[in-house]
Structure 1
Amino acid sequence: MITVLRLDHRLGRDTRITTHVCLTSRAFGADKVILSGERDRHIIESVESVVDNWGGDFQVEYDPKAIKVIKDHKKQGYEIIHLTMYGKHVEDVIPEIRDNGKDKLIIVGGSRVPTEVYELADWNLSVTNQPHSEVAALAICLHYAMNGEELNVTYPDGKMQVIPNNEHKQVIKNE
C-alpha cells in the first residue's frame, strides 16, 4: 500500500499542483492521496471523475491534520518517506525502501514544511539536491519504488483507454 500525503494545500493558489500530485500518484502506482491544508472539494471530485473514467480503485481523501495522519500511519507500521531536496539521494537508499515489504506514506510538501515532518520521517529523500518540482520528485520516487512496473499498468474497468499512436490522439471508449 502506497499513500501520498499532500501537505498544506491552499485554495486558489495550489489547485493545479495539487491536482498534478493526485494524478501523478495514481498514474505512478500509489493507492491513495490524502490532502491536508484547506479543503478543496473540486480537486477531490475531479480526481474521482478521473478514476471513474480511466479505472482503478485509487482513492482521494481530505484530513486537515497532517501531523496526526503521519503519526497514525507510523503507528500502523507504515514507512514514512518525506520528499525533500535536503534528504538522502533516492538511488542510494531505494533498494532498502522498496524491498522491505512495508506500506509507504510518501509526504509531498506544501508552502512550508514543519520541522516535525523531517523528524517523523523514516526517510528524508531527495531525487536531486537542486530546486525542483514536488510533482517531478513524486514521479521519480514512485517510479523507483515500483521498480518501473507502474509504466505498464492498465485498468480493465476504465471507461476510456489511450491507444498509443505516433500520428494523433487515439482514445477508445469501453462500454
Structure 2
Amino acid sequence: MTDDVVVLRYGHRPGRDDRMTTHVGLTARALGADRVVLPDNAGQSAETIRDITDRFGGPFAVELRDDQRAYTRDWEGTVAHLTMYGERVQDVDADIRANSVDDDTPLLVIVGGEKVPFDFYEAADYNVGVTNQPHSEVAGLAVFLDRLFDGEELEREWADADRVVMPQETGKRVVDPADAYDRDEE
C-alpha cells in the first residue's frame, strides 16, 4: 500500500493514552494525511477513527502494527519525527515539502506517545520541533501538517460521507451530503 503521507503513532498506554491516540489519528485524517499506523494495542482508538471516517468521509486508512521500529526502518521515503528536541519546523518545512509532497515521495511522520527510543531519532531524515517546548503531540502534528500542505488541506472535500458539517457563525448544523451540495448551488 502506497500513500503520500502516513502518520505513525509510536507507543500507546491503554487506559492512559486512549483519547490522545484517537486524537492523533483524527488530526492526521482531518489535516491531510492518508493513513495512520497505530500500535497493535490501540484497537479502540482505531475503531473510533474508522467510525469517524465512515460517517464524515474519506479516504483515510487505519492500520494496527506491532512492528513499529521495523516499519520505520523499512520505510521507503522521507521520515519526519516530531519532537521538541528537533530543528524548528519553520526552518525545515519547505525542505520536507520539497523532498516529499512536491516530488511524490512518501512521507512518514512519527508522533510519540511514550518515551521514543533513540533509533527513531536516527532513522529520521528530519527531527522536527514545533516550538521546542513541551506541549501536546496532537498540537505538534496539526501545526506540522498545516505547514506541510500550506493550508491547502483546509479546502479538502470528503468522499463517501454520511454527513457534512455546514460552516456557520453559531450553532451546529450537520446535514446529508446531498443537501450540502444543493445549498452550495443556490
Name the TM-score, length of structure 1 as normaliser: 0.94
Q: Which deviations, in whole Å up to 9, do the C-alpha atoms of 1:16-68 show, x marking residues without a partner? A: 000000000000000000012x5132211111111111111101111111110
Partner residue, 1:82: 81
Partner residue, 1:106: 109
Given candidates 15, 34, 46, the residue that maps to 2:37 is 34
- Output the CA distance in 1 between the equivalents of 2:120 and 2:28: 20
Aligned counterparts, 1:50-89, within 5 A: 50-73=52-75, 76=76, 78-89=77-88
Partner residue, 1:143: 146
The answer to whether residue 174 in structure 2 is matched with residue 174 in structure 1 is no
Q: Which deviations, in whole Å up to 9, do the C-alpha atoms of 1:55-84 show, x marking residues without a partner? A: 1110111111111010121xx2x1010000
Moved over 4 A (4+): none
Gaps spanning 5+ residues in structure 2: where?
Answer: 179-186
Moved more, 40-49 or 90-99: 40-49
For residue 94 of structure 1, report the CA deviation from its aligned partner: 0.9
Partner residue, 1:134: 137
Given candidates 2, 5, 14, the residue that maps to 2:8 is 5
Name the TM-score, length of structure 2 as normaliser: 0.89
Question: What SS does the aligned partner of 2:83 have?
Answer: strand
Gaps spanning 5+ residues in structure 1: where?
Answer: none
For residue 156 of structure 1, report the CA deviation from its aligned partner: 3.6
Question: What SS does the aligned partner of 1:108 have?
Answer: strand
Question: What SS does the aligned partner of 2:93 have?
Answer: helix
Partner residue, 2:47: 45
- Output the CA distance in 2 between the equivalents of 1:115 and 1:66: 13
Code of the residue aligned with 2:126 in structure 1: it is W
Code of the residue aligned with 2:113 in structure 1: it is G
* Percent of matched pairs sharing the same residue: 44
- Output the CA distance in 2 between the equivalents of 1:95 and 1:154: 24
Q: Calculate the aligned-residue CA RMSD, in Å.
A: 1.1
For residue 162 of structure 1, report the CA deviation from its aligned partner: 0.8
Moved more, 136-145 or 42-51: 42-51
Number of residue pairs aligned between Structure 1 and Structure 2? 171
